[in-house]
Amino acid sequence: MEGITGIIAEYNPFHKGHGYQIEKVRKLTGDRYVLVIMSGDFVQRGAPAVFDKYARTRMALLGGADAVLELPSCRSCGSAEYFAKGAVEILDALGCVEHLCFGSESGDAAACQTLGRILAREPEEFQESLKKILKVGLSFPAARKKALTVYLENHSSENSQTDILEMLRLLDSPNNLLGIEYCKALSLLNSQITPVTIKREGAGYHEKEISWSMPSATALRRALIDTERTEASISRLLFHAQPDSVAAFTVKLLSSQSPVTEDDFSLLLKYRLLLLTVEELAAFADVSLDLARRIRRELNHFASFSQFISLLKTREMTYTRISRALLHILLSITQEDMAESPGYVRLLGFRRESSPLLRRLQDSSRIPIVTKAADYRKQIPKDQWKGFEKDLFCADLYESVKAEKSQKAFVSDLQRSPVIL
């Protein structure tokens, strides 16, 4: 039977590095199909995607993916842990995925698995060390790295000093951190899926300048929202940064709509913040009581979504953590919502030639696959309606802002069908 590799992605937006990963993993695993679990309209760094999920699905299919499924909104804009766990739970529940491929700076899947297993077990020694370090005032990522350093050094007999240094280096890159979280989730689920990693080529994850044949998504987003760039300049950039078929689609897309940014949601966010008390704010995911108080205290200085994040940022709380917290307030995502394991998955698009893959998914999946949004109440159990309706709300909010910005008619997510190439 022809194999299936899963990729967890945001494609915000799709670029040559993503195309390289899809092409390379087919050679590495020998699998026939590449299935993508992709964020919807809001992404893990706590912001709207630059293009909507249907446009990004088309980019993925043009770039070589066989099918794209949506990661539910409560997980797509969660921390790396929740994002990874939600996506891996879906891949595992599909029941037919052999491999999970992720990019990394190291290209070392075994080291990611070792760290993932430690984080899955959370040995008491590690937990105690983490608690002590957090009390010093470090951010959670920095504290966890330090606690892992202590744990690995105390167990150096299990790993050589070189191995320990290599593993600690993995903790310095966002891509590596996600890979470790994927391995942690696989370990917690006792999943039969085998992780494989492809060494990242080209620009770094947060590289802001377009200077490589495979630039970062960060650099590409930054260039797309640069109002001083001409249409001709943007077109040249896209054909430099994206596969030709994807670039041609993106150029056409930009002729009818503008990229979406967090600041397009500024007024909506301010309305929500004005409406809620400290106690009500603290009910949302990633919003501590201390952060809720600071939000209320600084609200008179609110100028925009991004400006307010910078205003609230502290040594203990990173820009991205605050961005996610504010997005959770905007989208009404609570910690309880975040803790719910995905009990369904939605098909966003597929290639016609890959129809046999869809039949295999339908036959083997332990969770329902929604193929027509308007029929979701017939396709998923009643206890999953709330989660799906949250996805619809998030998509419709995004579409409202996008339609207003581009002066286009609003199209409800219930009316949308999967993209077919």
Binding site listing for ATP: 8-21, 103, 175, 200
Number of H-type helices and E-type strands within the chain: 21, 10
DSSP letter at 341 equals P
CB-hemisphere CA count at 13 Å for 280? 10
Give the whole-angstrom CA distance, residue 209 versus residue 361. Answer: 40
CB-CB contact of 46 with 250 (8 Å)? no
Q: Which ranges in 225-347 belong to alpha helices (H)?
A: 231-241, 244-254, 266-275, 278-281, 289-298, 305-312, 319-331, 335-339
CA 104 to CA 124: how far, in whole Å?
29
Instruction: Enumerate the β-bridge partners of residue 32.
Output: none
**Residue 232, CB-side half-sphere exposure with 13 Å CA sphere:** 0
Beta bridge pairs of residue 68: 36, 349
d(C-alpha 4, C-alpha 20), whole Å: 17
Distance CA(14)–CA(241), nearest Å, equals 9
Q: How far apart are the first and last CA of the chain?
A: 24
CA distances from 237 to 60, 118, 270 (A): 19, 42, 34
Exposure of 363 by Cβ count < 10 A (0-12 exposed, 13-18 middle, 19+ buried)?
exposed
